[in-house]
Amino acid sequence: MNLVTLGTIALDTIETPFGKAENVLGGSATYFSLAARFFSDCGVISVIGRDFPGEYIEFLKSKKIDLSGLEEVDGKTFRWEGYYEYDMNQAHTLKTELNVLETFSPKIPEKYKNCEFLFLANTDPEIQLKVLNEIKPKYSLCDTMNFWIIHKKKDVEKIFKKVNAVVINEGEARQFCETPNLIKAGRDLLKLGVEKVIIKKGEHGALFFSKDTFFSAPAYPLETIVDPTGAGDSFAGGTVGHLAKHKVFDDSSIKKSIVCGSIVASYVVEDFSANRIKKLNPEDIVNRYKKFREIVAFDHNL
- Specify the stretch interacting with ligand AMP by CB under 6 A; choose among 45-53, 159-167, 225-233, 250-258: 225-233
Query: What mask of x and - would describe binding to ligand AMP in positions 63 to 102, judged by CB under 6 A?
Result: -----------------x---------------x------
Contacts of 30 (CB under 8 A, 6+ apart): 7, 8, 9, 10, 60, 230, 233, 274
* Rounded Cα gap, residues 236 and 214, in angstroms: 18
Q: Are 220 and 238 in contact (CB under 8 A)?
A: no
Q: Are 38 and 153 in contact (CB under 8 A)?
A: no
Binding status of residue 28 toward ligand AMP by CB under 6 A:
yes
Query: What mask of x and - would describe binding to ligand AMP in positions 118 to 137, judged by CB under 6 A?
Result: ----xx--------------
* Rounded Cα gap, residues 205 and 278, in angstroms: 23
Binding status of residue 230 toward ligand AMP by CB under 6 A:
yes
Binding status of residue 23 toward ligand AMP by CB under 6 A:
no
**String of b and e for 125-164 (b: at least 16 CB within 10 Å)?**
bbbbbbbbeebebebbbbbbbeebbeebeebbeebbebbb
Closest approach of Cβ 249 to ligand AMP, in Å?
A: 22
The DSSP-derived string for 278-299 is GG--HHHHHHHHHHHHHHH---
Binding status of residue 166 toward ligand AMP by CB under 6 A:
no
Q: Closer CB to ligand AMP, residue 53 or residue 286?
A: 53
Could you say which of 10, 45, 185, 194 contacts ligand AMP (CB under 6 A)? 10
Give residue number: closest CB to ligand AMP. 26
Which residues bind to ligand AMP, rule: CB under 6 A? Answer: 8, 10, 12, 26-28, 31, 80, 96, 122-123, 145, 147, 229-233
